[in-house]
Structure 1
């Protein structure tokens, strides 16, 4: 990066807002891609040339205009809790840290408008103090930012009732384009698909309007089972029991529960567990379901202690992988959708084929109005070739794999939308400066 370029940045930003120290830019250019041993090798040396910390949208517009003038790559950073290298610069350039863009702009029944740097934990707390709550949020919600979740996430806590981000949980986005003079766009409806989970390749997310719901008093429980099938059938029935209001249903095959060290006194040896969040008013109904499937409640966090101290959502979704990595650095993961009509058979086939290489972990969710056994299984990693064999076997028995070991958007499960995303990028970012390299195909290749 030229000195003149840095001088131009410092003409409207302070010294503290412009970071060029190589060690610090390296640190700030990382997310949780090291969950994947493959991405760890591919991305470990990648970093931005400069990190900037704007205080407002005027400064964002100036940075984008300057980057366009100098044809410099631009990426956007929240709290860096993503897992696929979404924020990692492949070609250097400018990394924009959004941490100072952290205002809650407006809160009203059914929705909340925020800046991208707002932390979801703080937002959830504020909403609940005002009788509302987020419909969905990631297990990393205490650190994760609104913009990071929309740009790189999909679902999480609450998805069992409300689905993914694109299922109406993002109502509107304000976008800045990457042009000589950045244009401000108001995006809603089906067009949101070109910006949600697009890794910031189609524009800068300046404001977000999330759907919210009325505050519920949530109780958290751990239920233990002797048989894996009983834990899965219990989870399925609970997921389908729409009379029980719920926020999370997460099923973990043994030995996954053994990785949850802070929960050790509530975990029984060789028992499979289901971690749930339900409306406290449904506890009696839940208990009947537990008994029907030969389960046993081993721990309860009552509603009055919800998200005060220990919280069970810290052991669901991809937090499960983090606990496994803390216990055994050879562990990694996949992301998958099983077939609801035959998932038990699919589980048995995997157990027979891979034994202790593959541990089942399901986070049940609603997708297009249907219950889906969404899975983030844990894998004992040996080689990339062996991981590819596991993926091929899963796909051969009807399991859809969303590859978390790639930084390419279209290879991680977004292939159905990639042509529309590329058309939007071509319009909003004509010189391909927004997170370049994270889409590995072109429109002409798709058409051909």
Structure 2
């Protein structure tokens, strides 16, 4: 039930009884804020805004209330777009078909911290989970660079981040233990899924079910150090990424930026102007070896820091975040594409020549480097044409300028037929059946979440 003549007052009244007066809103400004995520990072998507406008916004405060809200919307035939904190960069959280935006950010209870796992409601913030794990002598296997995002948003729209060198991405790995999911069948009872069944709900933007509660894996806490180094050239810095990423114990993070990109980051004496920057989260036992590698490559160790705050700070200037800082420093100038492969290091000049004035942010990841290539924005046609050139260089690519699911599309479509029989969950985010293309994408939308 959408469109200019739809009457949402019955659903609003039911949600008011369920959640209280502050648990549902039809205020225009509230609806506008809830209808945009971080997609302005893409100049292509930003030019298409507004893409949709919520008719009402619900704020459940528990996993069980998430299930009840989805059930109520399904009985009223109203589209549901799940939302965490709106930090996703690709329009996953925009209500393309209007209807109800289900904001999960108040459902933030940490239910249990056990030996090797943590259970929390979907709106729990990643940094909150990591702090709780550290207090118990453990750590998350991985988390996104947007550490203030929600765990449900990360699993619904993200992929990898800090910890991915060891553990890969959220899909197919050991990170997700189980999920409690709301289906759009009218039944408020959450569905508990584990193993391969849980994998089917990851990175599909809530199109087959709304994640309400999660259990993810923990491992013993390591003595991490945040290591800052600088180099006279980005070529030297990029070579070090592969070497540092191969250290033992495996690093949690290794990032590199050319001087022009590093200078856009928040001011820090350990990131000196005019020099390429390398930043790594290393086990304490690997710091001396890392210093030797840096010196052999002509670099300088600028600082070594410890503590949860220092580690989290370094995480939050990795993956997409350097590009976001670059865009803040130079508004309406840069776009980015996601790329992966050894060619990022071995053919650096060829890669950066694809787009005029491009800058490469580089990350070590499991098995190969990945990166965010920022180019000077001209028009959409020029951006898309560059994908062919990048793939001809041997790189994998991901297009961050679109909002449709592009991982395990047919699996999601088959599941959705059962869990969302009236196609109410985040409609518009699955591609038309004739265009369903990639069953897997080795890069996905790395490190971001809604």
Q: Which residue of 1 aligns with 2:258?
A: 253
> Is 2:356–2:376's contact at 8 Å kept on the other side of the alignment?
no
Secondary structure class of the residue paired with 2:289 = helix
In 1, the alpha carbon distance for the partners of 2:265 and 2:134 equals: 28
1:147 aligns with 2:149: no
Name stretches of at least 5 consecutive residues in structure 1 with no aligned partner: none
In 2, the alpha carbon distance for the partners of 1:425 and 1:419 equals: 10
1:311-350 mapped onto 2 (5 Å cutoff): 311-329=313-331, 330-338=333-341, 340=342, 342-350=343-351
1:6 aligns with 2:7: no
Q: Which residue of 1 aligns with 2:441?
A: none
Q: Which residue of 1 aligns with 2:89?
A: 83
1:361-376 mapped onto 2 (5 Å cutoff): 361-366=361-366, 371-376=367-372
In 2, the alpha carbon distance for the partners of 1:199 and 1:261 equals: 31
Q: Which residue of 1 aligns with 2:291?
A: 287
> Is 2:363–2:370's contact at 8 Å kept on the other side of the alignment?
yes
- Stretch moving more, 184-193 or 393-402: 184-193
- Aligned equivalent of 2:49, options 43, 51, 71: 43
Are the structure 2 counterparts of residues 93 and 353 from structure 1 closer, same or farther at C-alpha, using a change threshold of 3 Å? closer
> Is 1:419–1:443's contact at 8 Å kept on the other side of the alignment?
no
Secondary structure class of the residue paired with 2:316 = helix
- Stretch moving more, 69-78 or 222-231: 222-231
Secondary structure class of the residue paired with 1:288 = helix
Q: Once superposed, what is the RMSD of the aligned Cα atoms?
A: 2.1
- Stretch moving more, 44-53 or 418-427: 44-53
Secondary structure class of the residue paired with 1:311 = helix
Give the drift of 1:230.
Answer: 2.0
Aligned residues: 430
Give the drift of 1:126.
Answer: 1.2
Give the drift of 1:308.
Answer: 5.2
1:16-54 per-position Cα deviation (integer Å, ceiling 9, x unaligned)? 111101111101222111000111122335221100111
1:386 aligns with 2:391: no
Q: Which residue of 2 aligns with 1:307?
A: 309
1:137-160 per-position Cα deviation (integer Å, ceiling 9, x unaligned)? 11111x211101100100011111
In 2, the alpha carbon distance for the partners of 1:276 and 1:344 equals: 17
Give the drift of 1:183.
Answer: 5.0
Secondary structure class of the residue paired with 1:83 = coil
- Stretch moving more, 418-427 or 325-334: 325-334
Are the structure 2 counterparts of residues 61 and 162 from structure 1 closer, same or farther at C-alpha, using a change threshold of 3 Å? closer
Secondary structure class of the residue paired with 1:85 = coil
Are the structure 2 counterparts of residues 432 and 343 from structure 1 closer, same or farther at C-alpha, using a change threshold of 3 Å? same
Q: Which residue of 2 aligns with 1:115?
A: 121
Give the drift of 1:182.
Answer: 4.2
- Aligned equivalent of 1:275, options 276, 279, 289: 279
1:158-204 per-position Cα deviation (integer Å, ceiling 9, x unaligned)? 11121111211111111121103245322222233321111001112
1:122-161 mapped onto 2 (5 Å cutoff): 122-141=128-147, 143-161=148-166
TM-score, with length taken from structure 2: 0.90
Secondary structure class of the residue paired with 2:277 = strand
Are the structure 2 counterparts of residues 268 and 21 from structure 1 closer, same or farther at C-alpha, using a change threshold of 3 Å? same
> Is 2:208–2:416's contact at 8 Å kept on the other side of the alignment?
yes
Higher relative contact order (CA 8 A, sep 6+): 2
In 1, the alpha carbon distance for the partners of 2:263 and 2:436 equals: 47
> Is 2:63–2:213's contact at 8 Å kept on the other side of the alignment?
no
- Aligned equivalent of 2:405, options 402, 409, 426: 409
Are the structure 2 counterparts of residues 321 and 445 from structure 1 closer, same or farther at C-alpha, using a change threshold of 3 Å? closer
> Is 1:248–1:277's contact at 8 Å kept on the other side of the alignment?
yes
Q: Which residue of 1 aligns with 2:426?
A: 435
